[in-house]
Amino acid sequence: MPLPTLTGKHLFFTGKGGVGKTTVACSLAAQYAQAGQRVLLISTDPASNIGQVFGREIGGTVTALGDLIPANDAIVLDAIEIDPEAEAEAYRESILGPVRGLLPPEVLATTEESLSGSCTVEVASFNRFTDFLTSPEHQDNYDRIIFDTAPTGHTLRLLSLPGDWSTFIDNGAGDASCLGPMSGLDKHKQTYADAVDALSDTQSTTMVLVARGQDSSIGEAERSARELNEIGIPTSHLILNGLLPEAAASDPLSTRIYEREQALLADLREGTRFPTLRDAQVSTLELKAHPVMGVAGLLTLGLPSESHDTHQGDTRETDVPVGLAPLVNELTGGRPKVVLCMGKGGVGKTTIAQALAVELAKQGKPVHLSTTDPAAHLDLDLGRDMPNLRISTIDPEAVTAAYRDEVLATKGGALDSDGYAQLEEDLRSPCTEEVAVFRAFSRVIDDVKDHWVVLDTAPTGHTLLLLDATGSYHRELMRQSGESVPQTALSVLQDADVTKPILVTLPETTPVLEAQELGRDLERAGITPWAWVVNQSLLATGTTSPFLQARAAAQADVLGHLVAGTTSIVVHTPVMIDEPQGVEGLAGLFDAGVASPTS
């Protein structure tokens, strides 16, 4: 199916890392430009690679790419990569600069950490691209403005709230904000309101979700659509990217992948499993044998491949161990361990955590498997099959709701209606949830005295630093809940002999970059990643499909770059013909000698 026809001047593409939203956005930009439209392409993705896609350095200034597009007339295709971290640093300095030398060092350090969370990055990026969304100059110069990565529903709710942020902070109501001091937001209030209005205008703006043909990926898209719908921004399009072509299904693995994707597409169109996406227009794009790079590839995205049989022999070998056995061999030695499985949504953290827990239990270790992932579905039958495996679930929604109620009942009681509304929104931030979850999480960690603790999803380095800060920020935060800071749990996490953080990712460029960023975040908190699991690797399957062999060769390059840049253990696990479920299914992730996906 060709790329969809989209209406509106502003096109926003959003989706989890590795789904191909950058490629789709770049392809549409190139095709619109070739058709004679004046196009501006803007990336706010921290792992942006639009420069790599076009084969030209772009960076933080508007760069002309029109000469790359073959056409008879002059082409207008401009691009810019907004660096979220650089924008966040400038935003932090605008707040911290005036008070350097005036505040005690420990207070300054606490304030700086309070400005290091994900919300600060989102708002700082939003500060920058509101100019492209609202300024008359950009509106007049371009027919299409395409954004690779859209703001989240939380950010848009935050920026559209009524009231005076400066007064809110001065009155002491905003101590729990993961944005830290927000007086700098107030002067942009009207600009934010104009930007949110523009995003809500379906005549000028189209919000496009991009996902893969996998249950977890579409589930993430459903949650994003619901969050945006709640604030009046409808999702009109869903692009399912990278579906296996029917002609490429030539061995048991590729045939099963094709059948599974088609069944999921049928479920999506039927509408009961993903109700928020029921009314969205669904477009599908075929997977290419090789990554789409360069203008020639971008201009043909959406067209069917001419052949799927010309890639025989395009294989690559790697000496990276296959399977999880090397990790378990080290985890079983010595005293009990805390195993943290961390990574972005859709990479298979839950499956890897379950596999490790089951194998440790098989070897006679008492194991406590727990999750803080709201999208995770631990297989409770595993605990019934293995008497020394205990399974628990920390419900982020429930523990966060309880935490919010406590804060609103204490601090909220003295606020006016605007202040109360702002406090309510402040408590919806990702950092509020992390702090609330950490209280429950710390109780699970305490089991390491006599259990191997395997956790599916763990706190970020920012959350840990926030809880370990010495200033009033975190003390007030924890005092609101009536508890002291769980220093014992934090010290356990920072003990490399006890805690073994594992970064789970996919063999694609963007998921690896995102996982590396998570690793750096942990290292700021004194926690060094112990191992990497590159999940769903075609290299590990022994596939005989020429099409999948070509994809495996590209994955080998990604794996090679990862290994060269880390001193941690790296293993990769195979794409499975069927989802690994139950004790027997999970055992397939330990087979280091996978010769064929049929074995």
Ordered structural domains, the chain, with CATH: 10-300 (3.40.50.300), 325-400+433-590 (3.40.50.300)
pLDDT, average across residues 530-535: 96
User: Does residue 1 carry a pLDDT above 70?
Assistant: no
pLDDT score at 326: 94
Residue 251 has pLDDT above 50, yes or no: yes
Average pLDDT over residues 557-584: 90
How much of the chain exceeds pLDDT 70, in percent?
80
At 96, the amino acid letter reads L
Q: How many CA atoms lie within 13 A of 53 on its CB side?
A: 28
Whole-number pLDDT of residue 158: 52
Burial letters 257-282, b for 16+ CB under 10 A, else e: bbebbeebbeebeeeeebebbeebee
The neighbour count for residue 305, using CB atoms within 10 Å, is 15
**Distances, alpha carbon 278 to alpha carbons 215, 220, 234, 266, 547, in Å:** 15, 15, 12, 12, 32
Residue 77's pLDDT band (boundaries 50, 70, 90)? Answer: very high
- Confidence class of residue 3 from pLDDT cuts 50, 70 and 90? low
Main-chain dihedrals φ then ψ at residue 582, nearest 5 degrees: 70, 170
Integer Cα distance of 556 and 37 in angstroms: 38
Separation CA 36–CA 34 (nearest Å):
5
pLDDT at 370 over 80: yes
- Compute the C-alpha angle 240/246/249, nearest 5°: 115
Mean pLDDT, all residues of the chain: 80
Question: Mean pLDDT over residues 74-88, rounded?
Answer: 86
Highest mean pLDDT out of 24-28, 197-201, 434-438, 512-516: 24-28
Residue 248 has pLDDT above 80, yes or no: yes
Mean pLDDT within 325-343:
93
User: What is the average pLDDT across 324-337?
Assistant: 94
Which residue would you say has higher pLDDT here, 560 or 378?
560
Query: What pLDDT is recorded for position 531?
Result: 97
Say how many Å lie between the first and final Cα of the chain, rounded: 35
Using pLDDT thresholds of 50, 70 and 90, give the confidence band for residue 80: very high
In angstroms, the CA 29 to CA 44 distance is: 16
Are 129 and 44 spatial neighbours (Cβ–Cβ below 8 Å)? yes
Asked if the model's pLDDT at residue 309 lies above 50, the reply is no
What is the pLDDT at residue 319?
Answer: 86
Share of the chain above pLDDT 90, in %: 29
Dist. CA 34–CA 42, nearest whole Å:
18
- At 461, is the pLDDT very low, low, confident or very high (cuts 50, 70, 90)? low
pLDDT at 182 over 50: no
The pLDDT of residue 491 is 82
HSE toward the beta carbon, residue 530, CA cutoff 13 A? 21
Work out the average pLDDT over 382-397.
86
- Return d(Cα 261, Cα 282) in angstroms, integer: 14
* Among the listed residues 227, 237, 226, the one whose alpha carbon sits nearest the alpha carbon of residue 202: 237
How far is Cα 278 from Cα 599, in angstroms, rounded to an integer? 39
pLDDT bucket at 139, cuts 50 / 70 / 90: confident
Helix axes 417-426, 396-410, angle to 10 degrees: 150
Q: Could you please report the per-residue DSSP string of 124-181? A: HHHHHHHHHHH-HHHHHH-SEEEEESPPPHHHHHHHT--S-HHHHHHTTTTTT-TT--
If we measure between CA atoms, which residue out of 228, 197, 235 comes closest to residue 11? Answer: 235
What pLDDT does residue 336 have? Answer: 95
Residue 73 or residue 172, greater confidence: 73
Alpha helices in 230-286 (DSSP H): 252-270
**H-run or E-run covering 358:** helix 349-362
Q: What is the pLDDT of residue 510?
A: 80
Of residues 5 and 571, the one with the higher pLDDT is 571
Contact residues for 270 (Cβ-Cβ < 8 A; gap 6+): none
* Three-class secondary structure of residue 543 per DSSP: coil
Which position has the token pair 């002291």?
A: 484
Selected residue with higher pLDDT from 249 and 188? 249
Record the tokens describing residue 51, joined without a space.
């420069």
pLDDT > 90? residue 145: yes
**Confidence label for 455 from pLDDT (cuts 50, 70 and 90):** very high
**Higher model confidence: residue 245 or residue 117?**
245
pLDDT band at 2 (very low <50, low <70, confident <90, very high): low
Average pLDDT over residues 321-337: 93
What's the confidence (pLDDT) of residue 70? 85
**With bands split at pLDDT 50, 70 and 90, how would you rate the model's confidence at 476?**
very low
Residues 6+ apart with CB under 8 A from 558: 507, 508, 509, 512
Mean pLDDT for the stretch of residues 210-231: 84
Who wins on pLDDT, 252 or 73?
A: 252
Report the C-alpha gap between 79 and 38 in whole angstroms.
Answer: 11
pLDDT at 278: 85
Q: Is the pLDDT score of 155 beyond 80?
A: no
Q: How confident is the model at residue 183 (pLDDT cuts 50, 70, 90)?
A: very low
When pLDDT is cut at 50, 70 and 90, the band that residue 304 belongs to is low
Contact by Cβ (8 Å): 205, 8: yes
pLDDT tens for each residue of 496-528: 999 999 999 999 888 898 889 889 888 888 889
Is the pLDDT assigned to residue 467 strictly greater than 60? no
State the pLDDT at residue 296. Answer: 87
